[in-house]
């Protein structure tokens, strides 16, 4: 079946979700500029770091809360509540000045806005047949990456046009969240709901505990989250310390989004007959090994090569990883399974942000080797964990 034919078979609610997601992600204006907003209010860089980290810590709460809400209340209700309440939090944050107040509001905003993610992923599992999920997740990632490519650039012009004021960043961010919430509430299906007596985390944990393949994927996600976070922490720092112009760093980072928009959907289609676990493993290895380029050179060409290899690894792994995760999840626990998997990303991101920068300052060579080692570890976890769940496909 051709790629176009597969795309045409995706159901109408999926396209509504993709369109709404594009609008919402395009309007994520605040997060990329949050540290700058906090320091412009008279707080130090260290204080801004604590406040920004608080947003990420809110992701731990979002994973637990959002996973339960998605299964118990329904997918569309969870996304709507998350988006509408998140818009209120965003406007409240625009009025804060002291870093302590900003940190508290950032934590609350992260916990509420990110709570909609498990519901979104679970809804795709509900409405898209298993044989089309890889293409579906690739299309969804295309929309997200296109929005991320256009959104921050628009936000920068918005700041310049308002003479350095950040208020309109918060206002537009909140407005797009409201639009997403209304679309989710009115035009998206509720999806599967789980009865109250079966919707708790205790029952889900017993299922996850015995699902060895899913636990292996959880471990692999911690490893890849560490690797992925390095692209926006040590990567730009290493670029600067290699005496390269910083405006070129933005172009190299943008190469990631451009490649995903151009190549991920065709690549997913081209690899659709390949064994899922082997493609996942290959992607993980490429992501981690890409950093080994820095052992040989710190030239601009080395950074471009690293980003190309990394992006091919990301494209091979991430859309397929979501489909593989879906195949491991019981139908009545999809929201909680996605929420639990999100905990792996929160863990890997937090550890990578805190420890990766420290390790880079003292032993950058060790960090590059560690990234490659974690990529191999993730691949081995996927390849050599036996399937034990009856829910796998």
What is the tens place of the pLDDT at every residue in 190-229? 888 887 777 788 888 899 999 999 999 999 999 999 999 8
Is the pLDDT at 32 greater than 80, yes or no? Answer: no
Confidence of residue 5 (pLDDT cuts 50, 70, 90): confident
Where do runs of H (alpha helix) occur along 162-200?
167-187
CA angle at residue 342 from 225 to 123, to 5 degrees? 125
Mean pLDDT (whole number) for 308-318: 95
Q: Are residues 318 and 370 in the same domain?
A: yes
Question: With 0-12 CB in 10 A as exposed, 13-18 as middle and 19+ as buried, what is 386?
Answer: exposed
Instruction: Answer whether residue 393 is part of any domain.
Output: no
Same domain, 125 and 249: no
Mark whether 243 and 358 lie in a shared domain.
yes
Query: Does residue 245 fall inside a structural domain?
Result: yes
- Specify the number of domains making up the chain: 2
The sign of the CA dihedral 135, 120, 54, 171 is: positive
Helix axes 117-127, 75-94, angle to 10 degrees: 150
387 has pLDDT over 70: no
Inside any domain, residue 1: no
Q: What is the pLDDT of residue 393?
A: 39
Looking at the fold, whether 261 and 233 belong to one and the same domain comes out as yes
Pair (336, 226) in one structural domain = yes
248 and 359 in a single domain? The answer is yes
Same domain for 178 and 49? Answer: yes
pLDDT tens digits for range 54-78:
888 898 899 889 999 999 899 999 9
Six token digits for residue 65: 């809360």
Contact 236, 381 (CB under 8 A): no
User: Above 60 in pLDDT, residue 381?
Assistant: yes
From the list 317, 137, 163, the residue with the least C-alpha distance to 225 is 317
| Structure token pair of residue 13 | 């609610």
Q: Which residues contact 46 (CB under 8 A, 6 or more apart)?
A: none
Residue 337 vs residue 159, higher pLDDT: 337
Mean pLDDT of 359-376: 93
Q: Encode pLDDT of 82-111 as tens digits.
A: 999 999 999 999 999 898 999 999 999 999
Between CA 148 and CA 152 the distance in angstroms is 7
Residue 341 covered by a domain: yes
- pLDDT value of residue 392: 40
Mean pLDDT of 347-351: 85
pLDDT band at 6 (very low <50, low <70, confident <90, very high): confident
CATH number of the domain at 287, please. 1.20.1250.20
Report percent pLDDT > 90 for the chain: 50
Domain-located, residue 346: yes
Predicted local confidence at residue 187, as pLDDT: 94
Q: How far, rounded to the nearest angstrom, does the alpha carbon of residue 343 sit from its chain's CA centroid? A: 12
E strand residue ranges, the chain: none
Tokens of 79: 């996304």
Task: Report which of 303, 149, 289, 148 is spatially closest to residue 237, judged by C-alpha positions.
Answer: 303
DSSP 128: S
Residues 258 and 329 in one domain: yes
Query: d(Cα 28, Cα 147) in Å, to the nearest integer?
Result: 9
CA-to-CA distance for 298 and 294, rounded, in angstroms? 6
Contact present, 221 and 343 (Cβ < 8 Å): no
- The most confident of the ranges 7-11, 171-175, 285-289, 342-346 is 285-289
Query: Which of the four pLDDT bands, split at 50, 70 and 90, describes residue 49?
Result: confident
CA geometry: angle at 234 spanning 152 and 314, to 5°? Answer: 65
Q: What is the pLDDT averaged over residues 34-62?
A: 82
**Cβ neighbours, 10 Å, residue 57:** 16
- The pair of structure tokens assigned to 370 is 């560690």
Block residue for tokens 């109250």: 196
On average, the pLDDT of the chain sits at 88
Instruction: Say if 205 falls within a structural domain.
Output: no
Statement to judge: residues 189 and 217 lie in one domain: no
**In this structure, is residue 287 part of a structural domain?**
yes
pLDDT at 390 over 50: no
Q: CA–CA separation, 124 vs 117, rounded Å?
A: 11
Same domain for 223 and 361, yes or no, is yes
Q: Is the pLDDT of residue 262 over 70?
A: yes
Handedness of CA 385, 126, 228, 260 (dihedral sign): positive
Token representation of residue 197: 């007596």
State the alpha helices, DSSP H only, in 271-299: 276-289
Same domain assignment for residues 308 and 215: yes
Alpha helices for the chain (secondary structure H): 3-8, 12-26, 30-40, 45-72, 75-94, 99-113, 117-127, 133-161, 167-187, 201-210, 212-229, 234-241, 246-270, 276-289, 300-327, 334-351, 357-383
Same domain, 56 and 174: yes
**Confidence band of 157 (pLDDT split at 50, 70, 90):** confident
Question: What pLDDT is recorded for position 388?
Answer: 53
- pLDDT for res 370: 97
Task: Please state, as a whole number, how many other Cβ atoms lie within 10 Å of the Cβ of residue 157.
Answer: 9
Is residue 119 one of the residues assigned to a domain?
Answer: yes
In terms of residue numbers, what domain contains 279? 211-387
């Amino acid at each position: 079946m051709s790629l176009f034919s597969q795309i045409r078979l995706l159901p109408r609610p999926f396209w509504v979700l993709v369109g709404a997601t594009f609008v919402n992600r395009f309007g994520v204006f605040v997060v990329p500029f949050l540290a700058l907003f906090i320091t412009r209010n008279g707080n130090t860089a260290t204080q801004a770091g604590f406040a920004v980290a608080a947003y990420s810590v809110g992701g731990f709460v979002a994973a637990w809360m959002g996973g339960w809400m998605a299964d118990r209340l329904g997918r569309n209700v969870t996304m709507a509540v998350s988006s509408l309440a998140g818009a209120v939090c965003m406007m409240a944050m625009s009025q804060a000045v002291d870093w302590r107040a900003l940190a508290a509001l950032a934590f609350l905003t992260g916990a509420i806005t990110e709570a909609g993610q498990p519901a979104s992923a679970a809804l795709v599992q509900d409405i898209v047949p298993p044989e089309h999920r890889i293409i579906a997740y690739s299309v969804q990632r295309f929309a997200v990456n296109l929005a991320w490519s256009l959104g921050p650039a628009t936000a920068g012009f918005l700041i310049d046009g308002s003479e350095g004021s950040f208020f309109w960043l918060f206002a537009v961010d909140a407005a797009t969240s409201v639009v997403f919430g209304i679309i989710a509430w009115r035009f998206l299906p509720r999806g599967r709901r789980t009865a109250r007596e079966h919707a708790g985390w205790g029952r889900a944990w017993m299922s996850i505990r015995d699902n060895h393949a899913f636990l292996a994927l959880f471990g692999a996600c911690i490893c890849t989250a560490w690797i992925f976070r390095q692209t926006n922490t040590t990567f730009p720092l290493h670029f600067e310390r290699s005496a390269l112009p910083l405006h070129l760093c933005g172009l190299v980072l943008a190469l990631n989004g451009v490649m995903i928009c151009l190549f991920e959907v065709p690549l997913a289609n081209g690899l659709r007959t390949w064994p899922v676990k082997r493609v996942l493993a290959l992607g993980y290895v490429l992501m981690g090994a890409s950093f080994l380029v820095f052992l040989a050179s710190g030239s601009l060409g080395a950074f471009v090569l690293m980003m190309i290899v990394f992006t091919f690894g990301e494209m091979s792994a991430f859309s397929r990883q979501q489909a593989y995760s879906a195949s491991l999840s019981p139908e009545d626990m999809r929201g909680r399974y996605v929420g639990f998997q999100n905990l792996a990303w929160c863990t890997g991101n937090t550890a990578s942000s805190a420890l990766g920068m420290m390790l880079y300052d003292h032993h950058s060579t060790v960090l590059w080797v560690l990234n490659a080692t974690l990529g191999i570890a993730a691949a081995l976890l996927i390849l050599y964990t036996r399937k034990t769940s009856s829910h796998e496909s």
